[in-house]
A = this chain, B = another copy of it.
Amino acid sequence: MKKFINAVENVETEMIQGMCRAYPKIVKKLDCGNVVVRTNKKEGKVALISGGGSGHEPTHGGFVGAGMLDCAVAGAVYTSPTVDMIYEGLKAVATDKGVLMVVKNYTGDVMNFEMAAEMAEGDGIKTAEVVTNDDVAVQDSLYTTGRRGVAGTVFVHKCAGAAAEEGKSLEEVKAVAEKVIANVRTMGVALTPSTIPAAGTPGFELGEDEIEIGIGIHGEPGTHKGKLVSANEIVNTLLDKILADIDFKGEVAVLINGGGGSPLMELYIVNNAVRDRLEKEGIKVYKNYVGNYMTSIDMCGCSITLLKVDDELKKYLDAPADTVAWKE
C-alpha cells in the first residue's frame, strides 16, 4: 500500500482536519469527533445532515456549506458513523424548522441515523429522513437491502439544500429530496479495486484486462466481471441499464463521477461518450458535471448518474452553492 498517511488509525481525523484547515470560512470540525458543520450556522431554515463512512471524499464534508448540507458525519473508512456522532451533528445544526437527514441506503447507515434521530426527537428536535437508492446495478448487496445509495445522492444535497436555503418547510424540503430520489439513477464500473488504509491490501481482485460492472462505492460486487473494452462500450453498458430503469426522455442533468484514482482525462472521455449516446437517444442535457464527487478511496473507475429535471429541479441545480467541492 503506497499512500500519504501517518498512522492508519488517524486517517479520518487528519483528513477532516486537513480539509477544515484549508477552508475555514466554509467548514469547521466539531471537537467531539469527525463531524463537519458550516462555519457560520444559518438559523431560520431547515438543516440538512448527511454522512456515512469515510473514503468517498469530497463526500460528505465537501458538500457542507451555503446551499447544500449543514452537517456531515464521517465514520471510519467504509464504516457507518456511530449513533453518538450523528446525534452530536443533529444537535449542532438543529433549527426551529427541523433537520432533514439524507441517508444513503446502507443497512448500518439507516439504522444509526434513525437511532440518532430518536434521541434528537427526545430533545425536541424535529427530524425527517430520506434514503437514497439510485444505484440500478443490483437489488440487494453486501451491506444493503434494496438498492444502494451512490453518487446521485449529491443531487439530493444540491436540490434539497437549495430548497432549504429558500426557507421551505421540513415537509417541503423532504418532498424536493424525494423528487430527486424518484428521478435519479446511477451505475458504476471499476477498473481497479480500492485499498482501505487499515486493511493495507485491495478489497478484491481484478485481472489485468478485467473490470467490475455495477461496482458499489465500497467495492461491493456489481452485476458481473467483464473484459476491459473501449470507453464507448463501457458507457453504453452502463447507460443501457440506467436508461431502461425509468423514462429519461426530456431533459437531464448528468454527473460523471470519478472513483478517486481515475484522472480527469479519462472522465472527460467518458463524458464525451455519454453525450454521444444521449444525443442519439434524443435526451437533452441541462447540466453536466464531471469530476470526483463520491469516490471509493483510490479506485480507478467511475459512475454515470442521470437526473431527470423539470423546472423546479433546474432552479435548484442553478441556485447558489458555496461548499468546498461544489460552487454554483
User: Which residues of A pack against B, CB within 8 Å?
Assistant: 2-7, 11, 14-19, 21-23, 54-55, 57-58, 62, 191-192, 208-209, 211, 228, 230-232, 234, 254, 256, 260-273, 275, 288-290, 292, 295, 297-298, 300, 302, 327
Contact = CB atoms under 8 A, between A and B. Distances in A.
A155 to B, nearest CB: 15
A244 to B, nearest CB: 22
A270 B327 contact: no
B271 A231 contact: no
Contacts of A230: 5-7
The quantity of this chain's copies bound in the complex is 2
A104 to B, nearest CB: 18
Contacts of A5: 230-231, 266, 269
A17 B272 contact: yes
Contacts of A271: 18-19, 21-22
Contact of A268 (B19, B268, B327): B19
A261 B58 CA distance: 15
B191 A18 contact: no
A99 B132 CA distance: 49
B298 A4 contact: no
Given A2-B228, A22-B288, A191-B3, A14 B269 contact: yes
